[in-house]
Structure 1
C-alpha cells in the first residue's frame, strides 16, 4: 500500500524564516528520486534548489510560483511504496486515487506524514483541492468541527430555533480550495470567510489577489449604505456580521481608496532583505563620510606591468582589496562591530571583505573570506567566482554573511562619488569612483593623470574623524604610490 508523505519547506539556515517559490521543477504525477531537486526558492540570502528526501510519485504541490511560504509549511506530498514504482511519464493519478492514497494514511511519522484526511483538522485544510466527481465528494463540515467565522462574530439576533449555521449558497462544500498559509492568515486576521471567496487560480484555488479583492469589496459595502445593485439583501448583513461597521470609515481606508493607481512591487525576498538591512543601518548607525581625490596613474601602471609579466590576470578590485586589508591592519577600529546590547565595540581578528555586486535580482554583497591573507591572484580568482555565482543566483547563505568590511566599486556605473550606506552590522565601507583622466598637479607641473575619488563612510561610534581620515589617507597613498605596500610584504 502506498504511503503519502508530506515534505515541508526545510530550515534553510542563517535564521531564514520564509522563502518565495520561484519555479517548480516537478509536476503532480511526476516520479521523483530521493534528494532530487523539486523546487527553486528565493530567500533573503540567495536562490536555492530544494531537494526532496523521499522517492515516489508527486501527488500534490502546495503553493504557486510567486507564493511566499514560511519555514515548515507544506511544499508537496509524495506517494512512496507501491505508487512510487510507477514508471516515469505515467499519467497523473486520478483525484479519486489521490484521495484514497491520502486517506489511507492515518498516523504521523516523524512529523512529515499526512494525517488521514477527513473534513476537520489542520491536515484536511492543507490538502490540495481537485474537481471531484459525486463518488468522491467530501461531506459537509459538522458543527463539531467548530462554528464558522460568520457564526462566531455575528451580532445577537432575535430568539429562534437553534440550527446549525448554513454555508453560503454560492460557497463550495468541503475544504476551502486554498493552499497558501499566508492567504489563510490574511483572511483569518481580517475576519474574512474564505468560503465566500471565488478563487481565480488553477482548479479554483484562492489566491492572495482574490482575498484582496474580497476585502476591497467588503470595504465598499461597509462604506456604502444599503446593498449594491445585484447583491442579495442579506449580503450586506453577512459582511456586517463578520466585521462590525464603524461609525466612520477610517482615515487610512479613505486615503487608500483615493490613492492614485500605480504598480505595486512587494518588498520581499532579496529586495526586501536589502531594504530591511539598509533601513536598520540608517536607524542604528550614526554614520559620517569623508572623501579624497587620488592619483591612480601609478596603480594602473603597476597592474599593467603585472599582467604583462604573464600568468593569470590581476583585477583592479583585487589590488584595491589588498590595499584595504593592509589599511585595516593599521586601523583595526574600522574592522569591528558594535554590540549594542552590551554597549561594547568588538574588534574582529580577521578581514572578511564584502564587495557590492549588482545582479539582475538586485544588489548583493558576497564575502571574500580571509582577504587579509590572500594574494592578489587569489583575490582575483575569488572575486570572479563570487561575481559569477551572484549573476547566476547560486550564492549560498554562507557566501553572503560574515563580512567585516565592504568595498563598493560604484565607478563601474560611471559615477565619480557617493556616500554609501554601511552594510549593517559592519563599521565602515570604502567607495571607489570611476578612474578617469583629469588635470592634476604632478611633481610641480600640470599634467593629465588618472584620478579617482575615494569615499569612506564609517560608524562614528567606533572611531573619530582622525582615525577615519588616517585610514582613507593611507589608502590614497597606496593608490598613488603602490610601492608603499612593499614595506608590508
Structure 2
C-alpha cells in the first residue's frame, strides 16, 4: 500500500492488541470504530472489543492514516496479534494536526510506554513521543479529541484487512454482541438495517424481522459483508420432493446450531464449571415475612423526598447481608487448597448478579461493609447503569467476596445458585409476593419472600450457614433487629 510522500518519509506502524489487564489473553472484536483510509489522532479509540470481563474501547497510540485492519467483527484475537496498521508521513500528519512523524505536537508520553503496541520497525524511524494510553481512561490523562477525516487510499489492501468499498461509512449502531452474532449466523447485513431502538439502535427484534423477511434471504448476497459465506443451495431433489430427506438435511438436524463459548459467555462457563468441580456446596432456605421490610422501605423513601433516588430492596438486603457477615465471617472467605487453609477476608466486596443483553454479569461493590444503605443504593444504581451500557471495567467485575443474587426479578420463588468461584457463599432472593401467612396467631395475607443460601461446606458447617440465614430472615421480618448492632 502506498501514499504520495516519498517512501523515506513514511512509516507504516503496526498496532497490536494490547494487554488489557486482569490476566486476559484474548478479546473479541465487537465493532470497528475506524475504517481503512481514516486519519486518526493519538489516543483515538479505534476498535471496541469484548473480553471475558467487559466491553472496552482500545485507543491507538499512533497518529496517521489507517491502512489495514486485521480481523472481522466477531473474530477473536489473542493479545499481541496485529490489530491495524497506521501509515505516518508528512502529508498525512499535517492534516491531523501532527508533525511529519505522525506524532501529536506537544505530546510528552513515550511510545514505548504503550503496552502491547510495540513495533520495532516503526519505532526506529519515529521519535519516542506517543501516547502512554492502553485503554480509554488509563495512562495519559490528556487524550486528544478524536476526529475522523477520510483520505483516499491507493493500491490494494493487506491480507486480513477489510476493503473500504465493502463497508458503509460510520459504525453500526449495535450494542449487543448477541445481536451481531445472530446477524452473522443468518447472513443479515447490519449496515442495511434501520434500528427501532433509541437513536436508531439495532435491536434483536430488528434482526429477527430481517431474518423472517424474504428480502433478507439472499436477494443481495454481495451486501452481506459480516455474514461470511452464503448458505449452500438446497438440492434440486429436495425442491421436487418435499417429503424426501436429503443427506444435507439429516446432517443439519443431527448437528444443530453451534454457539461459540468465548468472551464473557466463555468466561462464565469456565467459572461455573470450575465452581461445580471444586466446591462442595450445600443449600438451605427459609420463607420470610417481608411486610415490615417493605413498609420500612416505603417510609424511608417518603421521608427522603421526590428528588432523592429511591432506596431499592436490593440495597436493604445488601445492608442486611453485611451485618450478617459481620456476625458470621466464615462465609466471607475463600479456600486455599494448596495451603489447606480457609482464608478469612478483611472486608466485604459484595457482588450482585445483573442480567444484561450481553449475559449475566456480577458487578462488585467495594468495601460494602463500610457503606450506609444510601451509599449502597447509589453504588448499585451506578454499577447497574454501567452494566446495561456495557461500560463496566474489569476492576468492577472482579474481587468479590460474597454475592447477592436477586432472581426474584425473573418471577421465580426459589433457586439453588452456583457459587461464584472462589467465593464461599451466595444469598439468593426470590420474588416478594402476597401469600397466606400466620401473623400474630391469625391467618393473614403478608408479603412473603424465599431466601436461600448456597455455601461452601469446607468453610463452615450447617449450623453456621443456618445461623447466617436465620439472622437475615429475622432482619427482613423485623428491620429493627439491625439496630441492635449499631
TM-score (norm 1): 0.67
8 A contact 2:68–2:161 mirrored in 1? no
State the partner residue of 2:381.
384
CA distance in 1, matches of 2:293, 2:437: 16
State the partner residue of 1:441.
438
1:16 paired with 2:24, answer yes
Q: CA deviation at 1:87?
A: 3.4
8 A contact 1:6–1:113 mirrored in 2? no
Equivalent of 1:409, from 401, 406, 415?
406
1:90-105 to 2 correspondence within 5 Å?
none
* Structure 2 unaligned blocks of 5 or more: 1-8, 97-115, 124-152, 163-220, 232-249
State the partner residue of 2:284.
290
State the partner residue of 1:99.
none
State the partner residue of 1:54.
62
8 A contact 1:5–1:77 mirrored in 2? yes
CA distance in 2, matches of 1:459, 1:337: 9
CA distance in 2, matches of 1:177, 1:76: 11
8 A contact 2:14–2:122 mirrored in 1? no
8 A contact 1:2–1:83 mirrored in 2? no
8 A contact 2:331–2:455 mirrored in 1? yes
2:324 is paired with a residue whose SS is: helix
8 A contact 1:420–1:429 mirrored in 2? yes
State the partner residue of 1:396.
393
State the partner residue of 2:317.
320
State the partner residue of 2:262.
268
CA distance in 1, matches of 2:347, 2:295: 30
Q: CA deviation at 1:333?
A: 0.4
Aligned-residue CA RMSD in angstroms?
3.0
2:464 is paired with a residue whose SS is: helix
8 A contact 2:69–2:160 mirrored in 1? no
8 A contact 2:14–2:117 mirrored in 1? no
State the partner residue of 2:34.
26
8 A contact 1:56–1:83 mirrored in 2? no
1:382 is paired with a residue whose SS is: helix
CA distance in 1, matches of 2:408, 2:454: 16
CA distance in 2, matches of 1:314, 1:55: 47
State the partner residue of 1:370.
367
CA distance in 2, matches of 1:442, 1:321: 26
2:48 is paired with a residue whose SS is: strand
1:61-76 to 2 correspondence within 5 Å?
61-76=69-84
Deviations 1:202-253 (A, max 9, x none): 9xx9x9977xx9xxxxxxxxxxxxxxxxxxxxxxxxxxxxxxxxxxxxxxxx
Cα 1:429–1:278 change in 2 (3 A) is same
CA distance in 1, matches of 2:252, 2:259: 19
8 A contact 1:57–1:86 mirrored in 2? no
* Structure 1 unaligned blocks of 5 or more: 89-108, 117-131, 138-174, 181-200, 214-255
2:374 is paired with a residue whose SS is: helix
State the partner residue of 1:347.
344
State the partner residue of 1:153.
none
Cα 1:320–1:37 change in 2 (3 A) is same
8 A contact 1:335–1:427 mirrored in 2? yes
State the partner residue of 2:427.
430
State the partner residue of 1:146.
none
Deviations 1:335-363 (A, max 9, x none): 00011221111000000000000000100
Q: CA deviation at 1:319?
A: 0.5
CA distance in 1, matches of 2:122, 2:11: 11
CA distance in 2, matches of 1:12, 1:361: 19
Deviations 1:59-82 (A, max 9, x none): 111111111000001111111231
2:254 is paired with a residue whose SS is: coil
Specify the structure having the higher radius of gyration (Cα): 1
State the partner residue of 1:112.
119
TM-score (norm 2): 0.68
State the partner residue of 2:48.
40
Give the count of matched residue pairs. 352
